[in-house]
Amino acid sequence: LINDIKEKVFLTFKLKDVNVYSKLEIEYIFINHNSKYYIINISELMSKDPNETIKVLKTLFENEEIKKVSHGLKNVYTALNKL
């Protein structure tokens, strides 16, 4: 999916334990691209292969060709920095 995205995507996140910094984590990333919705279960992927999950997340967030639209990212950035 990430390799196929060449334009704007809308991202929404479901976080777990938002009020407890030490437990804060991303459970799901919801991606809206070309009127299609995709759900990435981050919790499940991290339990299977944390290194590959981090690699995929870096590919998504560091790719400057993909224009990302999202709101309220303070806790998301906190959770990502903890990885």
- How would you class 26 by CB atoms within 10 Å of its CB: exposed for 0-12, middle for 13-18, buried for 19 or more? buried
Task: Give the pLDDT score at 3.
Answer: 64
For residues 1 and 38, the answer to whether their CB atoms sit within 8 Å is: yes
Provide the 3-class DSSP secondary structure of residue 80. Answer: helix
Low-confidence ranges of the chain (pLDDT < 50): none
- Provide the domain limits for residue 42: 2-81
Task: Give the pLDDT score at 2.
Answer: 64
CATH number of the domain enclosing 72: 3.30.420.10
Structurally, the chain folds into a number of domains equal to 1
Count of CB atoms within 10 A of residue 40's CB? 20
- Helical ranges in 1-83 per DSSP H: 42-48, 50-62, 74-81
Task: Give the pLDDT score at 1.
Answer: 60
